[in-house]
Amino acid sequence: MRVEDFDMFSTLLKQRSGLVLTRDKAYLLESRLMPVARKWNMKGLEELAITVRTRKDEALLRDITEAMTTNESSFFRDQKPFDQFRQLVLPRLMATRAAKRSIRIWSAACSSGQEAYSLAMILNDEAAKLAGWRVEIVGTDISAEMVERSKAGVYTQFEVQRGLPITMLVKHFKQNGDKWQISPQLRQMASFREWNLLGDLSALGQFDIVFCRNVLIYFDGPTKGKVLEGIARQMPQDGVLYLGGAETVLGITDKFKPVDGQRGLYSLGGFSTGP
Amino acid sequence: MKSCLVVDDSRVVRKVARKILEELNFACTEAEDGKQAMETCAVQMPDAILLDWNMPVMNGIEFLRRLRKMSGGDFPKVVFCTTENDLAHIQEALSAGANEYIMKPFDSDIIQTKFAQVGLL
């Protein structure tokens, strides 16, 4: 790929999704954009680059952005965050919200929906305690394709074996050939919307718990700051933000503080693990 | 170091599974069918059993049912690893006392995740 084409694509992706691509990632750009070029009946990436420069076709730009945004996900990914959710975060927030009996959870950059549905499975386990509560899970992703996949809740054999205990598969999925679809009951617990984390988040409303894991790692410092400040505006003081294992707020924003003794959990200041 | 008995009639599958499990720090032994696996378990129960379903002489589900009736046979964590990938087989395996279930093909990530889920890692 020509250097000027790489620079043009990386600038475009930074503007549209916040994704930062260094030149050592040229192979990634090539491997992901070739299928886009083929879909649009182009000979290769040079023709794709020329078309992008000369014709600002929104559908094409969207295909390029979607092809490059990483869609790695699995059920109960890393496990520990979900144990923290079940054992600490959910009980705490239920205690402080006993009067209004409502909890909203956001799976930001939800990819194909496994995180949102993992939370739905935990909430289903806790259904007796949550009787009379209004619990809402909202998943958002920049990719329209991923949002549609999340809504459908259909996964391959490979996907349902990554992180999902077999008892959960039996309990919550229906088999259809070589695919597995999550039950209507769990699908009703989560809604999915196409949303760009760099855009205005206010219309999404306030969230008590935000999962934004393994998203910031793709952004540069200022973009990380912008995303975190945007999320902070959508959370109450005692809300809880989950980041990925390789991510932190330190040096990026002073809005969030680490939750004592709970790696990966952050709060605006009002969430306490004490008695 | 925990022990794992790999039960599969395919030498290739046993070799691949063994390599993955040894990298996860398991001491592995092998059996070609359910009967051989019974004989191994009668001498010493392993911590884990990775178990194929379709095998000659004695298949995996028959082995599992007999194992769970043996003295100390409720101890090993049994993870099925089979091409049988339908819900009915999975439910049958769980009813017979399987702890986890892997649908072939598998890779090291899947084995690692499943073994962690049943507390072996």
Which tens digits make up the pLDDT trace of A68-103? 876 778 999 989 999 999 999 999 999 999 999 999
Contact residues on chain A for B94, CB-CB shorter than 8 A: 166-167, 170
Q: Which of residues 146-205 of A touch B (CB under 8 A)?
A: 157, 161-163, 165-167, 169-170, 175, 178
**Contact call for residues A204 and A236 (beta carbons, < 8 A):** no
Contact B102 A161 (CB under 8 A): yes
What's the ipTM? Answer: 0.92
Residue A27 has pLDDT above 90, yes or no: no
Average pLDDT on B102-110 reads 92
To the question of pTM greater than 0.90 for the whole model, the response is: no
Question: Which residue ranges form the domains of chain B, and what is each CATH number?
Answer: 2-115 (3.40.50.2300)
Pick the CATH number of A80-267 from 3.40.50.970, 3.40.50.150, 3.20.20.70, 3.40.50.720: 3.40.50.150
Q: What does the pLDDT look like over A196-207, one tens digit per residue?
A: 999 999 999 999
Query: Which chain A residue has its CA at the smallest distance from B89's CA?
Result: A170
The pLDDT of residue B24: 96
Compute the average pLDDT of residues B36-45: 97
Nearest residue of chain B to residue A168 (CA atoms) = B100
Of B98, B101, B113, the CB nearest to A163: B113
First and final C-alpha spacing in chain A? 58
In this predicted structure, the answer to whether residue A247 has a pLDDT above a threshold of 70 is yes
User: Among positive and negative, which fits the CA dihedral A109, A93, A82, A184?
Assistant: negative
**Backbone dihedral angles phi then psi of residue A58, each to the nearest 5 degrees:** -60, -40
- Which residues are registered as beta bridge partners of A104? A136
Q: What pLDDT score was predicted for residue A275?
A: 66
For residue range A131-177, list pLDDT tens digits in order: 999 999 999 999 999 999 999 999 999 899 988 999 999 999 999 98
CA distance B84 to chain A (A): 11
Asked whether residue A230 carries a pLDDT value surpassing 80, the answer given is: yes
Domain spans, chain A: 3-68, 80-267
Q: Which fold has domain A3-68?
A: Chemotaxis Receptor Methyltransferase Cher; domain 1 (1.10.155)
Please name every residue paired with B27 in a beta bridge, in sequence order, or none if there are none. Answer: B3
